[in-house]
Structure 1
Amino acid sequence: MVLKYGYAIGEQVGNLTMTAGKIITPTKLPEVISLSVVNSSRFIILGTKPEILEWLCTYSHIKLEVTLFDDVTEAPHVRVPDVVIDLLPTFNEFGYAKHSSLLDYIIPTHHPNPSEEPVRLEFRPADPKTDENIDPYFRIIVERGSAFGEIFNEIKDKWDSVVYPNVWDDLKNLATLSHQYLENHDRENSSASYSNQLKSVVVDQK
């Protein structure tokens, strides 16, 4: 896989839509990667583990910054959130994780090779409402202003302990998501039906 990096544009939140939208790659990498809270900025790196770690080493001087607005100086009394770093799977158009080895499909219980698995390292402003809806391989929260070189070892140590889910795990996860969707759909239809019934009730005001 050829490594890609840049700002994520036009995405929805949720693991099954994490690779939707586009990646805007800066023509020249800035000294500071600025993440806007208001615009829900996300900077992502797509690639294999060796590719991404090498990229972080190469650009170890780059810092992560969070702002409330783009290009606006923050008021000193306003607390700006830290940076969330998530390691996430990449998905194909069918919602399955992109396992790179044929063995992963022949033997459903075989776990993918960490060095070959295409993944996504994402940097974004911390937001509890967003963060609780995402289930990453690992998550790190670092202070704004941190440079890649300062957090590299923490990222690598976390990554070294990751065991990627196998195809069987993906199928079970997909089944669970489908079941949850159907339950929510039925619940919404039930509420709508009840609401319609109430609308048809005539209240005697005598």
Structure 2
Amino acid sequence: MKRQQLRAAGRMVLALAQVTCAVALAGPGIDWPEVPLPSSSAGELVTGHMKNNGVDMRASQFATTQPLADVIEFYKRKWPDHVVNQMGGKTVIGHAEGDFMTTISLVSAGGATEGIIGTSKLPREKIEYVMGDGFDKPPGTEVFNDIIYYDTADKSRTLGMTNTLSPFQNYQYYAQRMRGQGWKLQKSRPCSMVSRSCVAMFEKDDGEKIALTLQRQQAATTQIVVNIE
């Protein structure tokens, strides 16, 4: 297994922990492999089929009363061909088999263990995918995450972006640009030139909605999370 592939997949799994999704049925068309769970586990599906930065993926989560060390040993026994890394304060176990890569992000929780499971379908050819395609962005904005959920009725989408503009400058940019594209500003958290965080919600007459969360980071950059429904 290439370590860069594991790191990329691990970042996908860690990002899932920051995204709230409804539990849904598995997406059609892909025969996803079964992922074993330790004994005394309770689990649920997070998303049955999504496209994460151009890669087909599904995700679930579980909790077990077993301690972290025992859970790590469980997967080492199940998957002799595996890689273990520490990422973002979590233990990430990676395993590739056939056309799929599975990564499990584990964290200790009061003597028990919680896990986020991500299974990716490895592309056979180079992916021609433009991150953030079709969504307006201020100049100099970098898109670091682009997720489309196929198991929601409207194919909801989440974008993660960053730029060097302040939250207020980003807020002004989108308030002006989206008004010209037929969006109406529904409600927002008060945003001023000194605000470190701002929220804006837009809606069209057909019911389509966009929520933007703007958060100033320590490195004089602003992180933008966009939820499109």
TM-score tier, shorter chain, comes to under 0.3
Q: TM-score, normalised by structure 1?
A: 0.23
Structure with the higher helix share, 1 or 2: 1
Q: TM-score, normalised by structure 2?
A: 0.21
Larger Rg: 1
Which structure is higher in RCO with an 8 Å CA cutoff and minimum separation 6? 1
